[in-house]
Amino acid sequence: MRVLAAMSGGVDSAVAAARAVDAGHEVVGVHLALSRAGGTLRTGSRGCCTVEDAMDARRVADRLGIPFYVWDFSERFRDDVIDDFISEYRAGRTPNPCMRCNEKIKFAALLERAIELGFDAICTGHYATLVDSPEGLELHRSSEQAKDQSYVLGVLTAEQLAHTYFPLGDTPSKDLVREEAAARGFSVAKKPDSYDICFIPDGDTRGYLAEKVGAESGEILDRSGETIGSHEGAHAFTVGQRRGLRIGRPAPDGKPRFVLEVRPVTNQVVVGPKEALAIAEIAGERYTWAGAAPPDPASPFACEVQIRAHADPVPAVARVADGALVVTPDEPLDGVATGQTAVVYVGTRVLGQCTIDRTVSAAPVPA
């Protein structure tokens, strides 16, 4: 099999590429250049797409004796990930840029080019597994729950899964991957994991959004619509946030307030008690199935829903109604924001996902 190994410069993708070579595949390594800022270096950076990362990936490829290329996907990344991130915040939603990158770049743009060049599959260092079933190929959680990355892969379609290869899915722990990298002589064996948003390398998301979206003062309201404070830019707030509200007037019950809603059109932020964060239902019109869809999606079916990469899955019932995937958790979800991704599981299988468009509160608004 001809395999294109996506090599980020980290330890996971390095070992994944090595295992693909060991399996006897014809492997070519590629690093995706997602920024045209040539001076971007690891110093002070917490992302995964720096010049030094490209150099680390090349060293691994050289040690494996495989061809290696750097492909410029910066324009596509800007259009599909960065611009989407900014526009979502402008609309008062909380996007997941890593999910969008997987959907639009790593398993769309990259896979399209790979197939055009005659490759059978792309190989990545994600911790997830693929299982053949009578209904077709299925995406499942990895064997290591703590490192499981199936959530961020929930956007993959059946066609994309058919051309995907996850060599690390059955690995019991990340420590074993690092040990294997060290035994292979990879310089990235002890390299820290990347985290935060790669195109905001200093981690200052609020400052980045202030520059891109603009900061304009507005009102902070309680659930009844009364103005109780002011802010310097609605983009700086997200649902569930507690810190940074700077409301001078305490709540009548003396309890902390949390952000319940961001209204970009009126530049208002709505706050209230923690119990008002409880969400009884979520829905999203932008939904996909990771493999075969349920036999009758319009009929309610039991599942589990996960709304963040590191959140615990919650038992729920889902159905497709009025053009949207509607999920009703058995117990209310806490602090859900529109723009987040809800991934639906049946056991260990990723069934599908949706970008959350609307939520229904479990707590009634006071009269």
User: Under 8 Å CB-to-CB from 130, ≥6 apart: which residues?
Assistant: 137, 138, 139, 140, 161, 164, 166, 169
- Considering the candidates 48, 49, 98, 101, report the single residue annotated as catalytic: 101
Cβ atoms 71, 111 nearer than 8 A: no
Cβ atoms 213, 90 nearer than 8 A: yes
98 as an active site residue: the answer is: no
- Considering the candidates 48, 49, 98, 198, report the single residue annotated as catalytic: 198
Nearest Cα to 83, choosing from 74, 239, 156? 74
101 as an active site residue: the answer is: yes
The span from the first CA to the last CA of the chain, in angstroms, equals: 65
- CB-based contacts of 358-361 (< 8 A; 24+ apart in sequence): 358/282, 358/283, 358/284, 359/279, 359/281, 359/282, 359/283, 360/279, 360/280, 360/281, 360/282, 361/276, 361/278, 361/279, 361/280
Nearest Cα to 281, choosing from 294, 300, 265? 300
Question: Distance (Å, rounded) from C-alpha 336 to C-alpha 352?
Answer: 18
Which residues participate in catalysis according to the annotation? Answer: 101, 198
